[in-house]
Structure 1
Amino acid sequence: MNEAFYLPDRADPERFVSTELTRGPWSPDAQHAGPPSALLGHVIERCEPRPGFQVGRVAVEILGPVPLAPLTAQARLVRPGRSVELIEATLSTDRGPVMRANAWRFKLADPELAIPEHLLPTGTRPGPDQTPAPEPFPSAQAVGFHTGIEYRYITGSFREPGPAVCWIRLKYPVVAGTAPSPLERALAAADSGNGVSAVLDWDRYLFINTDLTVTLHRQPVGEWVCLDAVTHPQPHGIGLAESALFDEKGPLGRSTQTLFLGPR
C-alpha cells in the first residue's frame, strides 16, 4: 500500500519517487497536477527558510504531462529582500522540466498591523461534517489522486455541471515521513477547481489546466480546504476556473487556472 504521494530517494535529497496516488483523470500514465504542485510547495518552503516569513503566492506553470516517474525537485532564492523575496522551483524528469513555479515570500508584520475589524475578510461555508457521504469519483483507475484525498461537496458534484462548493482533505502525506504543511494542502486542493466545478461533459471534453496560481492572505488551519469554484468556458477553446479558498475559520485566498478546452 502506498504511504504517500511521493517517496524520498535516500541517495538523492532532490529526487522523489512518484506513487500511484498521484495518478490523474486524463491518462493512467500521467499525474494529477495537485500532487506535483504540492511537491513544489514542499521544496519552496525548505529553500533557505527564514523565521517570520510566509509564502503568500505561488504561480505554477505546467509544461506538459507529468509522468508517473521519479522527479527531481529543486528550488532556489532568486530575489532576496528584507521584506519580500522570490523563489523559483522546478520539477524535472530524466527528459527535462515538467513544471515550474515562482513563489513570493513575505515578511510577517510584528507587531501585527492595527487594521479595523470591518476591513478584514469574513464569511464561512458549511463544514465538511455537514455534508452527505461523497459519491465515487468517475474514474476507471482503481488508485489515483481521487483515492488519495477525501472530498465533501456542499453544493454540486462531479456529475452535476456548474459551480460547486467542495471540501478536500489529503489522506496521505505529500512526501513520506513528513506532515503536509498548510501550503502543501492548499496547493494540492486548489488544482481541483476545474474538476469540482466542471461545466462540460467529462466523457466528451477535455478541460486541462496549463497553470495554477494560488494567492493566500492567510495559511489554512486544519486538514480541510474548501473550494468555492466556478468554471468559465468559451467556444474558442480557452477557459478559466477560479476558486475562493476557505478553511473552517473563514476565507484564505483565491486560485485560478487557465484551461485548454477540446473534444476527447
Structure 2
Amino acid sequence: MAYFRRTGPASFRPTEHVGGAWSTDEQHIAPALGLLVHVVEQDRDVRRDDRLAVGRLSYDIWGTVPMEEVETSVRVLRPGRTIELVEATLTHAGRTVVTLRAWLMQRSDTEAIAGTGSAAIPAPDAVPAWDPTTVWPGGFIASAQVRRDQAEPGRAVVWARTDVALLDDEPVSALARTAGLLDIINGMTVRADPREVAFPNLDLTAHLAREPAGGWLGFDAAVSFGPSGLGVTSSVLHDEHGHLGSMSQALTVRQG
C-alpha cells in the first residue's frame, strides 16, 4: 500500500490513494510534494556524503495532473561546499506540474542554544479525532488520519498522519514522508463550503528549524480570504517532539 510505484529511474505511477479532493480524476498534489523531496535527497546523496540538511521547501504548483505516470528531474542551481540551492521538477507528458526549490545547508551542533518563541499545541492524543471525508472526497483524504480542534472556520489545531507509504518497496526519509502531508492543511479548517467556494493553493513554502521525526504532523493553522480573490493559509508546524517550522500557501479564491 503506497502512494506511488516506481516505473523507471525517474518515473512514477500514482495509486488510488493519490486521488484528489477538488477532482477525484486528478492527483492530490500532496504526495507529489513528498516525492520531489525524495528525489532531491537521492540526488544529494549520490553527489556528496555530508547529508546537507534541508532548511526550506518552496513549491510552485503549475497546474493539475491526471491519475497517470509522472516524471521527475533534479538540477543544482547554486552549488556550494556548505550551502546548495537545488531545483526538482515534476512533469506529466512533457508538461511541468510542480517545481520545488530547496535550500540545503551544512549541519552544525546548536543544541545548547536551541529554542523557539512559538507556542506549543496540544498533543495528538489530546485533540479529538475528525473525519475529513465528511468534507472532501478522494483517495488521499481517505488515506489520512486527522485530529482537529477547531476554534472557528478557518482557525484550528490539526494533527495528521498516514499509514500509506510514499513509495512501494523503497525506503523514504521522515522528511519526505512529512512533506507528503504538508498540503493537506488547506482543506482541514475551511472558511467556506468547498461546494460553493473554491480555494486551491498555487504554492507552498515551508521553513524548517530541524528535521521532522515522522509520524504525526501538527498544524496551528489560520486561513484568510481577502476581498479580491486572494487568500493565504498560514501554519506553524509541529511534530510530537515540538516546534518544527512554519508554512504558507497562496490561495486563489473563486466564488460561485
Is the partner of 1:5 in helix, strand or coil?
Answer: strand
Separation (CA, whole Å) in 1 of partners of 2:73 and 2:132: 35
Q: Is the 8 A contact 1:125 1:248 kept in 2?
A: no
Closer, same or farther: CA 23–255 of 1 in aligned 2, 3 Å:
same
Residues 163-178 of structure 1: matches in 2 within 5 Å? Answer: 163-178=155-170
Give 2:198's aligned residue: 206
Alpha-carbon spacing, 1:193–1:134, altered in 2? closer, same or farther (3 Å): closer
Are 1:244 and 2:236 matched, yes or no? yes
CA contact (8 A) 1:232 1:240 kept: yes
Could you say if the C-alpha distance between residues 209 and 122 of structure 1 is closer, same or farther in structure 2, counting changes exceeding 3 Å?
closer
TM-score (norm 1): 0.89
1:6 paired residue number:
4
Question: Aligned residue for 1:101?
Answer: 100
Specify the alignment match of 2:24 in structure 1.
28
Counting only pairs closer than 5 Å after superposition, residues 12-161 of structure 1 correspond to structure 2 as 12-49=8-45, 50-109=49-108, 112-113=109-110, 115-116=112-113, 120-121=116-117, 123-138=119-134, 141=137, 143-155=138-150, 161=153
The whole-number CA distance in structure 2 between the counterparts of 1:130 and 1:116 is 29
Unaligned ranges ≥5, structure 1: none
Partner of 2:167, secondary structure, is: coil
Q: Could you list the per-position Cα deviations for residues 30-75 of structure 1 after superposition, in whole angstroms to 9, with x for gaps in the alignment?
A: 1112111111111111113232411111111100012111000111
1:82 partner SS: coil
Q: For the structure 1 residues 222 and 48, does the alpha-carbon distance in structure 2 shift closer, same or farther, using more than 3 Å as the test?
A: closer
AA in 2 matched with 1:14: A
Aligned pairs, number: 253
TM-score by length of 2: 0.92
Distance 1:140-1:59 versus aligned 2 partners, 3 A rule = closer
Q: Deviations over 1:226-250 (max 9, x none)?
A: 0111111012001011100001111
Give the whole-Å Cα distance in 2 for the aligned partners of 1:140 and 1:88: 31
Q: 2:223 matched to 1:231?
A: yes
Whole-Å Cα distance in 2 between the matches of residues 134 and 209 of structure 1? 22
Structure 2: runs of 5+ lacking an equivalent: none
Distance verdict in 2 for CA 1:7–1:124, change over 3 Å: same
Greater CA deviation, 39-48 or 251-260? 39-48
Root-mean-square deviation (Å): 1.9
- Which of the two has greater helix per residue? 2
* C-alpha contact 1:124 1:248 (8 A) present in aligned 2: no
AA in 2 matched with 1:113: T
Q: Deviations over 1:161-203 (max 9, x none)?
A: 2201111112211111134422223322221222123212222
* Inter-partner Cα distance in structure 2 for 1:56 and 1:83: 12
Q: Give the % identical residues.
A: 34
Give the secondary-structure state (helix, strand or coil) at the position aligned to 1:199: coil
Q: Deviations over 1:185-228 (max 9, x none)?
A: 33222212221232122220000000011111111113111011
Whichever residue aligns with residue 51 of structure 1, its letter is: D
Q: Residues 205, 122 of structure 1: CA spacing in aligned structure 2 closer, same or farther, 3 A cutoff?
A: closer
